[in-house]
A and B are shown apart, each in its own frame.
Chain A
Amino acid sequence: MKLKTLILGLCTASAFALAAHAESITIATVNNGDMVRMQKLTDDFTAKNPDIQLNWVTLEENVLRERVTTDIATKGGQYDVMTIGTYEVPIWAKQSWLLPLDDLGADYDAADIIPAIAGGLTADGKLYAAPFYGESSFVMYRKDLMEKAGLTMPDAPTWDFIVDAAKKMTDRGADVNGICLRGKAGWGENMAFLTAMSNSFGARWFDENWVPQFDQPEWKKTLETYVNVMKEAGPVGASSNGFNENLALFQQGKCGMWIDATVAASFVSDPKNSTVADKVGYALAPDNGLGKRGNWLWAWSLAVPAGTQKADAAKKFVAWATSKSYLELVASKEGWANVPPGTRTSLYNNPEYQAAAPFAKMTLDSINSADPTHPTVKPVPYVGVQFVAIPEFAGLATNVGQLFSAALAGQSSVDDALAAAQSAATTEMGMAGYTK
């Protein structure tokens, strides 16, 4: 009996010793290519930090968001590092759920982070999440089809041009659709695109007093333009197409133009997976001459929840994954084209990167032309380009997204969809106490 106790005690003691030696942190991340690559490169981190062990939880976007939100709101303490987007950062920072990341080491060079991206991740002058990759949206188009239609894409097109070009490029017999846009319902799917688009039409979600604005002519113009161009020049099944579905269509040469995330550029220009890799051109997202373009701003970022016991290790990891040397590490292993884009100015000044990524300049210009603090033509009480950074937005916008996808599918009129959206938004805002 005594011996047993002794052995047991020894075991426990050694387990403690081990635990003290190797601290393990759990990282929740989204299953996108850049994050998967980071996961594969962990050896570099553990070699530099032998006392830290990394556990990965890789989930698809919807599930990830649900998991980390539940965890942080209930102080579940399951994760030490969370991958979150520009939408969550201001909300969570306000709740003091995140640790400020202003001490990521001497060589971190926070000033190098692209200002527009850093702006979306900063609250009260402090960075609350470090961007892992950043994106805006722009137009990707087929140079050959544009030429065939007798048109030249300007660097900064207008909506009129896009609509006209979409119609002229459409050749349904040859299975070519002039334009592919998101139609699948969801706040991060069709509503990300439509909200950004509406900004360029002078529309806004709420006025200064949080009154919903779907009954205004700007929204009507936005939705009508969208529905009409998709009817005449969009693919079948558009109302269930999200990023991936459109990517597959574009890669197979079925789209003349596609307005979507700048990260898509590295997919469509990859000859291994894209049949049109050498024919893709890029342009800024369209505008209407009102001073705002229809492009969004998003950064998948790493944040450290305030409840973690392992803040130091977590911060070390965040600093590693979002550092300049991480970019170099990826470049040395997988080439410059596979470096996570959109976070650091120095990357865009790097001639090697410019050579490897023909879309680099257009990406940077797009990111720089988005302004999350002044997203709309008319003044608004919120921040966020393709979202409104309030907790109620995700649910509300998913609801509105469903209504708009019905308009796209031709199952309700634009007017009905807008009226229903207005009433849904009014109810939601009344309930949440923004309006009386």
Chain B
Amino acid sequence: MKTIELDSLTFAAMLRQGAVSLGKDKKVINDLNVFPIPDGDTGDNMLMTLKAGCNAIENHLGTLSELASAASSGMLLGARGNSGVILSRIFAGLTKGLQGVIVADTKAFAKAMDAAVSEAYKAVPVPVEGTIITVMREGTAGADASQDLNHYFETLLESMQSSLDHTPELLQVLKDAGVVDSGGAGLLSIFRGMNDALNGKISQEEIEPTAAAPVPTVELNKFDENSKLEFGYCTEFLLRLMRSKVDLDSFDEKEIIDYLNKVGESVVAFREGSIVKVHVHTFKPGEILNYCQQFGEFLTLKIENMTLQHHQTVNQNNASFKLPPKPYGIVTVASGKGLINAFREIGADEVIEGGQTMNPSTQDFLDAFSRINAQHILVFPNNKNIKMAADQAAELYKNADIHVLPSTSIGEGYYGIGYIDRDNPNIDDIIDSITEIMQSVVTGMVSTAIRDAEGEQVSVHTGDYVGYSGKQLLSDSPDREEAAKALVERLGAASRDVMLVFFGEEVPQDEAERLVADLQTQYKNLEIMLNNGRQPVYDYIFVLC
């Protein structure tokens, strides 16, 4: 299939496929990033930028020119990081080149690509070769526009690849690190995806999500009272030039760009209408803000201490927004909204959804651990069948000391967690006291029997309500409340002090309240605490201590 004319629908698909491709390569690209500050997020930044463009053209109808313009505006606002900003400029240039074009033939598109190159170079006051702009320039120069668009893209990709391959020759820092330029690699990935779409290879898969938090990962304690500001601040903002402050028609943004170059580094700045986008590394962001405010007002503003970014990358840490680790983190397993909530309320940092009928994997535990920033993580699997996965995860995990407690029931887990003295610095003490309280707890459950069974104490009939504890069948009745009452009695309620009741999603609240009132009358010294566990499978969970 040969594409002679590019229309807006195809171009939209190309942009989206470019994002899909970049999403897949994102990790590799993040790892390439050694310039200018090893913050390791080039792939994320470029993807966020491109996605902002894709979002802006969703359900967009119109000419190629209009579509490109919409995408470019989206990228302008969504641009993040150096490479992201340059990427947005590349598409802004492309848009300029496509102005008024309804559908583009190869020549028109190639011309627009040239415009994209020059816009990219304009965005960087002191262009550094061996970066994304080099790949864009050399790639475009090597592309053959004499035939159809497919051929153009084929040759474009080839020359972009060879340009990317020799970026280390142009830039010592890449050579030292033994990598190619990450921004260039990202650009190539995008154009590869665009080429796929051009050739009809459009995947329906979702674009890889970018890091959820817009705030980059930061370990605040890496910049302490004695730290030296090594790298200054990465400062990015959109400035709206104000009619009250400048003459919009005659104002030359070069004034700002020249100033930025004098006071900062890694300057990327350009103007789009009355908006000036600025990216600069500086030791004194305040001065730059004051200077720029004489021309307008800020639309968005982001200032980050790059020493923190730097350290964070050196430490290879991916956890979001790092504070000093707390002493104890808690992971447990439960199912049912109310029960999960109850565990959160009592202090669990992570509640993995699961239980008897759905055992969480080792990976589930590892994921939960990685979301907690603690020295010690106490794990309550609450089930014999789940403990092994937790143990295995504990073996594999290296960023915290993992302690898997032998909790075999919801009740043991709940009591164990409730008993943790968070002020006690001695982990062994804590584990001893938890173990002790867990041993003094007994848990019983009421559920529906799915088959007949003979227990030592009761015969269970299919469809009846059955009360049991561990593997022991303790009560059976066609009536749920009767089964519950008999179970509570056999669990030894008469000699217990406290009973927690979690009623399941099948049980109406008034039934649970009635049951508790009856039990309270029967066991005067027992303190009964009713909780809406909303758990599946188990109509009642009784925890006695």
Partners in one complex: no
